[in-house]
Amino acid sequence: MSCAELNNLIKMINHIAEHIAIGENEAVIVPKVVVHIRNFWAPSMTDKIIDYATCDGKLLNTISKLAVHSLKAAELQK
């Protein structure tokens, strides 16, 4: 995946996190972001954002980081 494609994934997940449940708290928003990613992202996209969060993740907003860590934890349990 190119740098531009990774940047696009970062922008997408941050946008989802910011808009999926405006005004709600993290406990509500994070699971909604996780469900959205599972339902609409290809596994390769999910893998890339997990890899990015593990290696760096500085461009992810707080909700995105929490959602990605939740996705990673679920992958490890498989």
How is residue 42 annotated by DSSP? -
Kindly report, residue by residue over 11-56, the tens digit of the pLDDT.
999 999 999 999 999 999 999 999 999 999 999 999 999 999 999 9
> Residue 67's domain spans which residues?
3-76
Q: Which two tokens stand for residue 5?
A: 């494609």
Q: Which residues contact 15 (CB under 8 A, 6 or more apart)?
A: none
Q: Is the pLDDT of residue 77 over 90?
A: no
Q: How many domains are there within the chain?
A: 1
For residue 1, is pLDDT > 80?
no
Q: Are 36 and 20 in contact (CB under 8 A)?
A: yes
Continuous H helices in 1-78: 3-19, 26-40, 43-55, 62-76
